[in-house]
Amino acid sequence: MRNLSSIPSPEKQREISRFEDFARNDGVGKPATSRILILRETHETPELVAQRLELAGGRNRFGEPNYRAVWGWNRLAWIGGKFEDRDEHGVLLRERIELRKEPKYPAVNRWHIERWVRPEVYGSPRAWYAQTNEIANGQNVAALGPYPSRGEYELCFTLETSKGEFIQLTPTVAEHIARAIEVSRCRPRGKSREKLYDREARENRAYENWAFDLLDDQVPAFHKQPFVTVS
């Protein structure tokens, strides 16, 4: 269940989203007196950051970047189930079983680096709905929303210190994180391929060391916070 009144307060600039409750009277909608105000901080990804990430990771089959940076409040994902909407006093306004877009990550006031995952990873549409379908009050609901036919972006790295403090996103940091992840994904594993990729591996290690040294200065948590590599 999601309680909209429990969403945390913002830290910096704020965008106000208004949700009005409409009462029904003989089929005619009337604005009710109760109103829920949700404050959330939103940021658009800087263009230069997006360019650096595309340079580091390239594009996917749909012409979209393999890596992207998103602000936590901006990153919404489909969630299906039973929702409770309450006013500022905690009074229940309504219960609904539906699909909604909610923040995907708990760290809503942080920058996140995501990598595109091809749709085949999620199986077939039939398998997707079979695995994600839930029943709420006798109704079927797709708990994770529609099948990701164009793939989906999954979390690789959250920019914050080892103490959970805010770190600003810069083009250099974003590019180095993406490149480091690509290096770890492409590193050869079998001995039979070591000679073939020896030269490339040396170049990658040199770049990786340089990137990590720079990240030590700008992102202290990089070595302490494991990133997720998605195949």
Q: What confidence tens digit (pLDDT) does each residue in 46-77 have?
A: 999 999 999 999 999 999 999 999 999 999 99
| 33 vs 173, higher pLDDT | 173
- Tell me, yes or no, whether 230 lies in a domain: no
| 43 vs 181, higher pLDDT | 43
- Tell me, yes or no, whether 136 lies in a domain: yes
- Tell me, yes or no, whether 224 lies in a domain: no
CB 94 within 8 A of CB 21: yes
- Tell me, yes or no, whether 109 lies in a domain: yes
- Residue 63: domain span: 4-218
Give the residue-averaged pLDDT of 12-28.
39
What's the pTM? Answer: 0.66
Query: Mean pLDDT, the chain, as a whole number?
Result: 75
Residue 85 burial (10 A CB sphere; 0-12, 13-18, 19+): middle
Query: What are the respective helix, strand and coil percentages of the chain, to the nearest 5?
Result: 30, 35, 35
Number of domains in the chain: 1
Write down the pLDDT at residue 202.
56
E strands within 46-125?
Answer: 67-71, 76-86, 92-103, 111-117
Locus of tokens 């704020």: 14
- Tell me, yes or no, whether 231 lies in a domain: no
- Tell me, yes or no, whether 165 lies in a domain: yes
- Tell me, yes or no, whether 95 lies in a domain: yes
* pLDDT above 50 (res 215): yes
The CA distance from 36 to 83, in Å, is 15
- Tell me, yes or no, whether 223 lies in a domain: no
